[in-house]
Amino acid sequence: MKRRCEGDLAVRCSVDQDCVDASVAGPCLGFEALEDVSLVDAFEPAVFTVNKPKLLCPPVDVLAEPGGLIDSEVHMKGYQLKRTDRIKHTRQTVLVDDQFGLHVLQTLKGSMLLAPTAKDLTGPVAAPLPGHDDYKCYNVKEVKKRCTGDLVTKCTQDADCATAGGICHVGHPKGLQEDLVDQFDGSTVELKKPKMLCVPVEKTAPVINPIDHLTCYQIKRSDGLKHTKVDDIHLNNEQFGPEVVSTVKEQFLCVSSVIVP
């Protein structure tokens, strides 16, 4: 969204003083890239520039799964990452377990920072209290025809894994449908292949829970409907401050996952 005063989104601004001059409450909302941000996770330490947000991830109820929403208040806001320390990422091949099964994934590069964020549809909102991990998301590709007991061993059927152990991973099944309900919309989507693996990351505070990860699947709406755009969503987190955004369309379903040793 273009720069607006938080107290009156119809008033444009460049700096906070513009809001004062217009006799409306500030600050002047807008994201400024943050350079030389050190991120440390289980795969690597690295330095990035954090660029403008591209994703808003509200908690979602996957109707086919028991338990409902884990935390209805805290969302995750996704910021683009650009690596600046001139060191190339060393690809990692890992076995990931989530509610849709086992997946052999290879990391490609760090692409997104997810920050715990508060949301309000009516006006400014306070940042969430500490106690939630940030996540660094890696673009991934799925490695097919590998034994889950030894990710180096190639296979075409489970019998090929008799020595290596596990089963022959043949890839994410096609045509998997899920019914989803979040605070903005309800939809039926087709679950495409995994696109990101998000790991807890140390940015300004140590990691709280190093075990829980997120596997993010690309999704495509399959109910014949279009997402109804939601405007003027007030967001805030303690790292990057307040901002107002609008939704565009659904892109990913991120589910809890663990890396199998």
Q: What is the pLDDT of residue 68?
A: 41
Q: What is the pLDDT of residue 65?
A: 52
Ordered by start, the domain boundaries in the chain are 1-30, 32-141+176-260
Q: What is the pLDDT of residue 71?
A: 52
Rounded CA-CA distance 83/48 in Å is 4
Q: What is the pLDDT of residue 2?
A: 72
Q: What is the pLDDT of residue 204?
A: 83
> Are 110 and 46 in contact, with CB atoms under 8 Å apart?
yes
Q: What is the pLDDT of residue 72?
A: 59
Q: What is the pLDDT of residue 70?
A: 45
pLDDT < 50: residue spans in the chain: 66-70
> Are 13 and 28 in contact, with CB atoms under 8 Å apart?
yes
Q: What is the pLDDT of residue 63?
A: 59
Rounded CA-CA distance 24/15 in Å is 13
CB 76: neighbour CB atoms within 10 A? 23
pTM over 0.95: no
> Are 92 and 128 in contact, with CB atoms under 8 Å apart?
no
Q: What is the pLDDT of residue 69?
A: 39
